Chains A and B, each alone.
Chain A
Amino acid sequence: MSLTSAHSVVAPSANSKRIAGAIIIAYALISIVPLLWIFATSFKTPPDSIAYPPKIVFQPSIEGYCNLFTTRTRQTPEYINSLGPATGICDETARERNMVIAGPSNFLPRFVNSLIIAFGSTFCAVFLGTLSAYGFSRFKVPLADDLLFFILSTRMMPPIAVAIPIYLMYRELGLSDTALGMILLYTAVNVSLAVWLLKGFIDEIPREYEEAAMIDGYTRLQAFWRTVLPQATTGIAATAIFCLIFAWNEYAFASLLTSGTAQTAPPFIPTIIGEGGQDWPAVAAGTTIFLVPILVFTILLRKQLLRGITFGAVRK
């Protein structure tokens, strides 16, 4: 589906267009306000973030980002005065609050976990998905429809339901709380989407290309490699981004199956605690950093979005 296609079912009058536009713009603004608010909060100081009435104009501060990446301990003013000059801007903001930086926080390792698990599982899911999709698209597979439905139905299980046996299985195999375990799990969840989406894309590539290649003396595999893959690149890229977004956003499995070394960012961000409760600027800073890739992908993907969210069930 294209959001910018020239075809429209109604021939609206200029006036109705204007009213429609006004309503849509109003809705868009309302729906984006929570995100803008989080972005603004990430640049507030903790007192500003919980001020009432909410502060729209405020002195920007990078304290939230400093608190996100470091741990701090409270010290007496005498001790702080006895220290040398502050090293770096984060140290300065910490000292203003009678604190010194004790070390790095867990955010960066959790963020790196998210990257490793999301990219690792995406690569595996797209790799397996491309092979299967080609298999289903081009060969007569016995029970193809049943197999495809089976692949789709694995997505219907509530994650918590599968989490219990997977938790036990991983405990036996030593995969609990490991990146490898999470990559395998997300690959299994994503491969259903990858197969369905890619089958749609590959179905659209005319078989004649491969037949021509095979007549020229290529084997089936060579024909796949030299003609189908290059043609499917856009589809593969779109599929990869959808898998990436899912793995990046996933929370249920991550919160139940990881607790320490392999924990990803979504279960970690809500646990950021400051002095006397949740450190909202730090949480907002973590959220902002976490959301940036998604925003970029949304803009890149807007034309493929419909396919991706409906498993290719709805095309243009």
Chain B
Amino acid sequence: MLNRTADSVARATPEPLARKVRGISDKGLAWLFISPTILLLLAINIFPLFWAIYLSFTNYRANRSNEVVKNLGFANYQRILGDQDVWIAMQTTAHFVFWTILLQTVIGFTLAWLIDRKFRGHAFWTTIILVPMMLSPAVVGNFWRFLYQPQTGLFNYIVAFFTGVPPSSFEMLGSVQLAPWAIVIVDTWMWTPYVMLICLAGLRSIPEYIYEAAEVDRASNWRQFWSITLPMALPFIMLAVLFRGIENFKMFDMVNLLTGGGPGSTTEVASITLKRQAFESWRTGYSSAFAIILFVAVFGLANIYVKALNKVKQR
């Protein structure tokens, strides 16, 4: 296999060595290595995406595949943008994203800031805190449904114990006012550790000499926090917000298991509407158009946000 002559030639010419190898050229090898992944993604991601784009212009219904497919042009898109329910679902989604991110960022950053003090046993307790985010959102949603049982659930019992309100008087998942908050609580319970972990990395990235300089200048602790800690950790906090934002915009599993969008449609986030349209009403064309709109929205918002993030980083 080894070609000694080529080898000695290669040894005589040190620099382009990496380019000229027996058998396959580096360029060929690069494509050989990369193309399987690209092909798989084209087959399972891009092809379906284009199919969805095509379907979004039709009245196709997946449960009646024998019907003649009609081209509707932009009618589906028009109908979605004029549909009251869709706008309500988008609003519900926006509320969830706003509240979950606000709570998770505030609590997560505070926890990280406290853990950074390196008290005894902090590594152990940090690991415990990290457990919820490793679980399956479906399983989490399901067992929180158990904790939220109005008559017998642990959550209701604890709230009743501390507030004195009879537990049967509030139904976390069945009440129009409480159901959205029930989901916000579970999401915050599950994902605060995620934000905490990223914030902790941010805090650990701040070089110590900056604080030492601040001490020399006799800056107060408060001042140090606002002028050093927070701005230096900001890119990390923003990154956590980006990741959580994308995930919560897509939120489906937990909501589907906790409330299924109910009561009524108070917790019907965009993904739930989409599932109902696509897999219950079987309006495939219409739901494809909705899916495209959602994808463009996530993609667009994420891109704008990343630009802002890069600006903060460069400061």
List of A residues within 8 angstroms of B292 by Cβ: 161
List of A residues within 8 angstroms of B11 by Cβ: 215
Encoded as 1 (CB less than 8 Å from any B CB) or 0, chain A from 146 to 176 comes to: 0100110110111111111111110100000
Distance A269 CA – B161 CA, assembled complex (angstroms) = 30
In the assembled complex, A184 has its CB within 8 A of some CB on chain B = yes
List of A residues within 8 angstroms of B18 by Cβ: 211, 214, 220
Distance A184 CA – B208 CA, assembled complex (angstroms) = 47
Distance A90 CA – B251 CA, assembled complex (angstroms) = 39
Distance A3 CA – B118 CA, assembled complex (angstroms) = 10
- CB-based contact A314/B201 at 8 Å: yes
List of B residues within 8 angstroms of A233 by Cβ: none
Which among A28-36, A78-86, A100-108 touches the partner chain? A28-36
| Contacts A/B (CB < 8 Å), 27 sampled | A20-B117, A34-B132, A50-B149, A52-B151, A52-B157, A134-B33, A135-B31, A160-B278, A161-B274, A185-B44, A188-B45, A195-B37, A217-B2, A220-B29, A221-B29, A249-B139, A251-B138, A251-B253, A252-B271, A256-B279, A266-B139, A270-B142, A284-B143, A302-B127, A306-B201, A309-B133, A310-B198
List of B residues within 8 angstroms of A69 by Cβ: none
- CB-based contact B138/A266 at 8 Å: yes
In the assembled complex, B147 has its CB within 8 A of some CB on chain A = yes
Choose among A34, A156, A217, A298 the residue that contacts B7 (Cβ–Cβ < 8 A): A217
Least Cβ–Cβ distance between A73 and chain B, in angstroms = 25
- CB-based contact A24/B114 at 8 Å: yes
Least Cβ–Cβ distance between B109 and chain A, in angstroms = 13
- CB-based contact A50/B33 at 8 Å: no
- CB-based contact A163/B278 at 8 Å: yes
In the assembled complex, B181 has its CB within 8 A of some CB on chain A = no
* A12-B117, A31-B189 given; A294·B135 CB < 8 A: yes
Distance A168 CA – B51 CA, assembled complex (angstroms) = 9
- CB-based contact B38/A147 at 8 Å: yes
Which A-B residue pairs are the 4 nearest by beta carbons?
A21-B119, A161-B291, A135-B33, A251-B138
* A52-B151, A220-B26, A220-B29 given; A5·B204 CB < 8 A: yes
- CB-based contact B117/A291 at 8 Å: no
List of B residues within 8 angstroms of A135 by Cβ: 29-31, 33-34
List of B residues within 8 angstroms of A24 by Cβ: 111, 114-115, 119, 122, 125-126, 129
Least Cβ–Cβ distance between A15 and chain B, in angstroms = 11
Choose among B117, B143, B200 the residue that contacts A38 (Cβ–Cβ < 8 A): B143
* A52-B152, A219-B23, A302-B127 given; A191·B40 CB < 8 A: yes
Distance A129 CA – B37 CA, assembled complex (angstroms) = 7
* A160-B271, A160-B274, A164-B288 given; A306·B197 CB < 8 A: yes
- CB-based contact B284/A164 at 8 Å: yes
Interface residue SS majority, chain A = helix
- CB-based contact B134/A184 at 8 Å: no
* A162-B45, A251-B253 given; A28·B128 CB < 8 A: yes
* A3-B123, A8-B117, A217-B7 given; A269·B139 CB < 8 A: yes
Closest to A297 in B: B134
Distance A8 CA – B115 CA, assembled complex (angstroms) = 10
* A162-B45, A287-B143, A306-B198 given; A131·B118 CB < 8 A: no
In the assembled complex, B239 has its CB within 8 A of some CB on chain A = yes
In the assembled complex, B229 has its CB within 8 A of some CB on chain A = yes
- CB-based contact B134/A294 at 8 Å: yes
Encoded as 1 (CB less than 8 Å from any B CB) or 0, chain A from 122 to 150 comes to: 00000011011011100111000001001
List of A residues within 8 angstroms of B127 by Cβ: 3, 298-299, 302
In the assembled complex, B120 has its CB within 8 A of some CB on chain A = yes
Least Cβ–Cβ distance between B155 and chain A, in angstroms = 8
- CB-based contact B295/A131 at 8 Å: no
- CB-based contact A156/B298 at 8 Å: yes
- CB-based contact A214/B21 at 8 Å: yes
The total number of A-B Cβ pairs within 8 Å is 322
List of B residues within 8 angstroms of A248 by Cβ: 136
Which among B78-86, B98-106, B242-250 touches the partner chain? B242-250
In the assembled complex, B219 has its CB within 8 A of some CB on chain A = no
* A158-B294, A215-B11, A266-B139 given; A28·B129 CB < 8 A: yes
Distance A127 CA – B297 CA, assembled complex (angstroms) = 33
In the assembled complex, A9 has its CB within 8 A of some CB on chain B = yes
List of B residues within 8 angstroms of A66 by Cβ: none
Distance A12 CA – B158 CA, assembled complex (angstroms) = 34
- CB-based contact B152/A50 at 8 Å: yes
Distance A67 CA – B26 CA, assembled complex (angstroms) = 59
- CB-based contact A139/B288 at 8 Å: no
In the assembled complex, B69 has its CB within 8 A of some CB on chain A = no
- CB-based contact B136/A290 at 8 Å: yes
List of B residues within 8 angstroms of A128 by Cβ: 36-37, 40
List of B residues within 8 angstroms of A35 by Cβ: 131-132
List of B residues within 8 angstroms of A163 by Cβ: 278-279
In the assembled complex, A305 has its CB within 8 A of some CB on chain B = yes
Which of B136-178 touch A at CB < 8 Å? 136-139, 141-144, 146-147, 149, 151-154, 157, 167
In the assembled complex, B236 has its CB within 8 A of some CB on chain A = yes
From B118, B278, B292, residue with most partner A Cβ within 10 Å:
B118
List of A residues within 8 angstroms of B30 by Cβ: 135, 139-141
In the assembled complex, A57 has its CB within 8 A of some CB on chain B = no
- CB-based contact A1/B38 at 8 Å: no
Least Cβ–Cβ distance between A152 and chain B, in angstroms = 10
